[in-house]
Each structure stands twice: as C-alpha cells, then as structure tokens.
Amino acid sequence: MTDLTPPGRKPARPHFSSGPCAKPPGWTPEKLKLESLGRSHRSKVGKARLKLCIDLIREVLEVPDDYRIGIVPGSDTGAVEMAMWTMLGQRPVTTLAWESFGEGWVTDAVKQLKIDPTVIRADYGHVPDLAQVDWSNDVVFTWNGTTSGAKVPDSDWIAADREGLSIADATSAVFAQDIAWDKVDVLTFSWQKVLGGEGAHGVLILGPRAVERLESYTPAWPLPKLFRMTKGGKLIEGIFTGETINTPSMLAVEDAIFALEWGKSVGGLAGMKARADANAAALDAIVQSRDWLGHLAPDPATRSNTSVCLTVAGADVDFIKAFAKLLEEHDAAYDIAGYRDAPPGLRIWCGATVDTADVEALGPWLDWAYAQLS
C-alpha cells in the first residue's frame, strides 16, 4: 500500500448506513421519554404514546385526514406483505422491480401468493418504462430503490382514474421525496430507513380505496393473525389509533417520537426534504470532481437523494469490502459498501438525519481510501 497520510478532518457523525440510518442530530438516549417503558402498550400511557407517534407521522409527513396510519410488526417488509396478502387477488397484478426489494415483492406474488403477475423489470440504476403499466391492475412498486439508488421520477405515471390499487413501498423515499397522496392507495415505510429509528416496526398507510378493498374482498388464502386488519367485514379501526396487532417496543416508539419531533424542529416535511437534497447535492459535487467515481443511477431525474449508489472504477466485491473496512477502522464512514445483490460499489445515505458538513468531509476520505487500495 501507498503510505498516505489520512485527512485531518473526519465527519462528526460518520453514520452513512442506509438502514438503520443516522440518528437525528443531537440524539442521546437520555432525551427519550421513558414513562411508557415497563408499562403495557394497552395502558393509558402506552396507547397515548402510540397515538402521539401516529399523529406526528400524519403531521410531519402531511398525510391526508382520510388516510389511516398504523404501526405494524415486521418493519417495512411486514407492512408491504400485510397489504399484498390482504388486498391482492381480486384483479390482475403488476409488479415493478429494478432492485432487490422490488424483486422480493415479485417473489411474494409469484411463489407465495401464486397470482401470476405481470412483471416489469429494469437493471440496477434504472427504472422500467413506466408507460407500460396497466392501471386496470393492482400495481406494487418501490418508490425509491434503496439498493440501486434509482427512484420513480414523479407521480405523473400513476393514473388518477386507476381501477387498481397503487401499493408503494416508500421506505427510503418518505420525508425526502414528493409523495402525491391522491396517487397512492397504500404506502409503507419503516422508522429505521428515514428517521434513524430502531427496527422491527413498520408503518402502513391506507387510503380510502384500500380500506374499501379490505372491507369488500376476502382473499382465497389463509391469513396469519399478524396480517388480519378486518373483523366481520369491517376495518379494525383500533390498529390505526394505536392499538397495535402485537406487542410493540415502546422504547422504539419513543425513539420514533423523538425523531418526528426533531423533524418538526427543522421545518417539517419541507425542511427534511431540503436537508436530503442538500446532502445529495454535496455528494454529487464529490462525484463530479473525481473521474474514478460515478452514479449507478445515471439519470438525475430518477436518481435517489437518499440511498445514493456509486460506482468505483475498477472495483470488484473484494475491493469494495476492503474500501469500506478501511474507512470504518478510521471512524470516517460506517457501512458504505453497496448492497450485496447490487453491482460492486458504494452506497451512501443522504437522508435528512445526515448533516451536509459530514457529507462534505467524506470526500477526502474517499480519495484516501481509493489511493490506499489502488
């Protein structure tokens, strides 16, 4: 190796993992409210804190009043699969896949539910031809490809007069990208991807058309208890007011409340989106000034501003592992190797909980690691 001196300045918070992502600035465990810990989630205080978390999600994410918000088990995966298992099968289905999580929903539809969907794919870094989508079908898609750094360009491709449901896995898009709620019937996310929250819980948001489907349709397959959202043909409203299906971690709930209140303090949704945009712009400036770095998603219109995936000239899997390990050993960047199923490269989280100054400080460290290993 070349004996190069490491840069003098490190990112103050080198947390660039794409999930769990960085905690909000200023977070410490001591700042969490703990009166709900050791109490039943069905106690007065437990229900109140769960309801507060739901209310804050509605406020900060600007969710319409007629959409239900539920805290559900199993992270974003659990939320997506609850929607798929309970709503699909009434009409034809289209699944979109341009990275590993979208492929996961294809697998669920084909191998588990066996509903023979229309599958529209694109390679990592690209999105499919969205004009191909038939909106007489239910459509399952990822709003932002967490493992590919490619997102849908906008919501214009979603038909306003659609017959099917639009089911959006938006776990790495919310609080950073524009979501047109009139174009979404089901939206899911997880706290750890967007808010720096702890794992195990997902958020399931249902529009009126999704509720109508749940109350009018019974799938042909058996439903696990964790997926059941209706009783006697009616939505179980308690799920969407804080009466969770299973026992939640109240510590994780308190952590999410802290992050949402922090989101309010930086200007709410507009402020959080601006922070993500600034971070992505700072990282793009680093990429543009280095001939050995590139974007896996080449089109700026479909390039993520959260899970930004980069190509590294001449890199293979072993090079990327060594690159990420070197930076972690120097506490300069944690967890920036690309996703295991993606082309070899880097993945750097630029969502709202990251500070732009830390992205800027990362550039010289990327140079140093590349020089050490080249």
Q: What is the pLDDT of residues 232-272, one digit of tens each?
A: 999 999 999 999 999 999 999 999 999 999 999 999 999 99
Q: Mean per-residue pLDDT for 9-32?
A: 97
Is the confidence at residue 170, as pLDDT, over 50?
Answer: yes
Q: Mean per-residue pLDDT for 76-84?
A: 98
| CATH 3.90.1150.10 placement within the chain | 268-373
* Residue 1 pLDDT grade (very low, low, confident, very high; cuts 50, 70, 90): very low
Q: Mean per-residue pLDDT for 356-362?
A: 98
Q: What percent of the chain has pLDDT over 70?
A: 99
Q: How far apart are the first and last CA of the chain?
A: 8
Residue 276 near residue 349 (C-beta atoms within 8 A): no
Centre a 10 Å sphere on the Cβ of residue 89 and count the other Cβ atoms it contains.
Answer: 19
| CATH 3.40.640.10 placement within the chain | 29-263
Average pLDDT, the chain: 96
pTM (two decimals): 0.97
CATH architecture of 268-373: Alpha-Beta Complex (3.90)
pLDDT in tens, 279-303: 999 999 999 999 999 999 999 999 9
d(CA 330, CA 4): 13
Q: How far is CA 331 from CA 14, 61, 315, 325, in A?
A: 7, 33, 22, 10
DSSP letter string, 159-199: -TT-SS-EEEE-TTTTTTS---GGG-SEEEEEHHHHT---S
Q: What percent of the chain has pLDDT over 90?
A: 97
Q: Mean per-residue pLDDT for 344-355?
A: 98
- Residue 4: its pLDDT value, please? 81
* Residue 194 pLDDT grade (very low, low, confident, very high; cuts 50, 70, 90): confident
d(CA 262, CA 352): 10
Q: Mean per-residue pLDDT for 359-371?
A: 97
- Residue 91: its pLDDT value, please? 98
CATH topology of domain 29-263: Aspartate Aminotransferase; domain 2 (3.40.640)
d(CA 113, CA 67): 26
Q: Mean per-residue pLDDT for 123-131?
A: 97
